[in-house]
Amino acid sequence: MFVRNCWYVPGWSRDFAKDSLTAVTILNEPIVIYRKSDGGLVALQDRCCHRFAPLSLGRLEGEDLRCMYHGLKFAPSGKCIEIPGQPKIPPQAWVRGYPIVEKHSCAWIWMGDPALADETLIPDFVGVDDPQWAMTSGRMDYSANYMLINDNLLDLSHIAFLHRKSLGATFSPEGVSRPTVTKVPGGVRIQNWINSGPSQMVPSISKGRVDIFQTYDFMIPGVFLLRADMYPEGTAKMFPDREAIGIEPLHCQFTCQAVTPLTDDRTCYFFAYGPWAKERQFIDAFYQLGLKAFNEDRVMIEAQQKNINLSPAYRMMTIAIDSGIAQFRRMIDDVIRSESNGAAVPQPPATHEAMEA
């Protein structure tokens, strides 16, 4: 089950070239995305209303898209505007259109009721063009349900174990403080200290023994925004409440990530990672570090999914560090339940025309 009335990332802006058709699947729905002559994006159901042929195998004709099975042509609104050999176009000749915009170096698509698509609800994703950070973007595909990836991002206590060879091998479990979990509009905010371990994430920026303060927001449906600041050893003891830290950080880094469910058991994971702009020379080192760490996550989560598939009736045990996971899952369940009680249905062509106008 999925949240539908929210923005998902179907790809980075760079993924959608002019004069090309890109097929994606999101929430089990086939979608084709293309650019109009002004550069704006169009997203339509990738299934012709006639014989269900993929429109992504079709042909762009100016702003319109022609199905190359029997020649039906669709406007960017999704309305069929031409049927070869048939002057009258029936009212049911249309495909669903999806609101889609570009922001923070990404495309964002609204999968629910188009009347509720509000661009102000797009999270502050930062993006690779933000001048404060030196980040490189990437994507990774998982053979796993999206909620397992959400769980992984909501619980960073696994860093000391799963990422011992990449992000922070030498931080002991005792050095990771219990996180503070706070509800924020549309998600949760999680903050904690990782105390007094050698930084070996990237040898060129090693700062010796450091304390790391990390704060991150995790927003519905699965957008992760994390900032990690390195401080001299002992800073965590001086500022245990994690507020008004009075010491300049030795190093800062940021990562933004978006979890996009493709199907029930396949997920696309978009990420950008890098240091603050004044250490731009480390941008490639951080990208390689991110790939290594995110692959460690992927291998574990796909193995976890295989175990779940073998014994779907089993239930996971909850421990203290799962507070953020539990709160976020409740939020997701509440939203899905609310949407189910008033589920929106695809709108007829007149609605698409009204949106376009």
**Residue 146, in any domain of the structure:** yes
Split into its structural domains, the chain has a count of: 2
Residues 33 and 72 grouped into a single domain: yes
Domain boundary among 64, 95, 121: 121
Cα–Cα dist 345/339, whole Å:
11
* Assessment of whether the complete model's pTM goes beyond 0.85: yes
Residue-level pLDDT at 350: 32
Q: Strand 251-261's sheet: what is its strand order?
A: 136-142, 267-275, 251-261, 223-232, 209-219, 187-198, 180-184
| Domain of residue 40, CATH code | 2.102.10.10
Residues 216 and 76 grouped into a single domain: no
**Residue 189, in any domain of the structure:** yes
Residues 41 and 148 grouped into a single domain: no
Residue-level pLDDT at 92: 94
Residues 169 and 258 grouped into a single domain: yes
Residues 107 and 165 grouped into a single domain: no
Residue-level pLDDT at 129: 86
- The series of mean pLDDT values per 10 residues for the chain, 357 residues long, is 95 96 98 96 98 98 97 98 96 97 96 95 87 94 97 85 72 64 88 71 64 90 92 84 77 94 97 93 90 94 97 91 88 91 47 29
**Residue 341, in any domain of the structure:** no
Residues 297 and 197 grouped into a single domain: yes
CA distances from 199 to 62, 150, 160, 191, 232 (A): 54, 26, 12, 19, 11
Can you give the three-state secondary structure of the chain, one letter per residue? CCCCCCEEEEEEHHHCCCCCCEEEEECCEEEEEEECCCCCEEEEECCCCCCCCCHHHCEEECCEEECCCCCCEECCCCEEEEECCECCCCCCCECCEECEEEECCEEEEECCCHHHCCHHHCCCCCCCCCCCECCEEEEEEECCCHHHHHHHHHCHHHHHHHCCCCCCCCCCHHHECCCEEEEECCEEEEEEEEEEEECCCCHHHCCCEEEEEEEEEEECCCEEEEEEEEEECCHHHHCCCCCCCCCCCCEEEEEEEEEEECCCCCEEEEEEEEEEHHHHHHHHHHHHHHHHHHHHHHHHHHHHHHHHHHCCCCCCCCCHHHHHHHHHHHHHHHHHHHHHHCCCCCCCHHHHHHHHC
**Residue 284, in any domain of the structure:** yes
Residue-level pLDDT at 175: 59
Residues 12 and 146 grouped into a single domain: no
Residue 271 structural domain: 136-336
Residues 116 and 142 grouped into a single domain: no
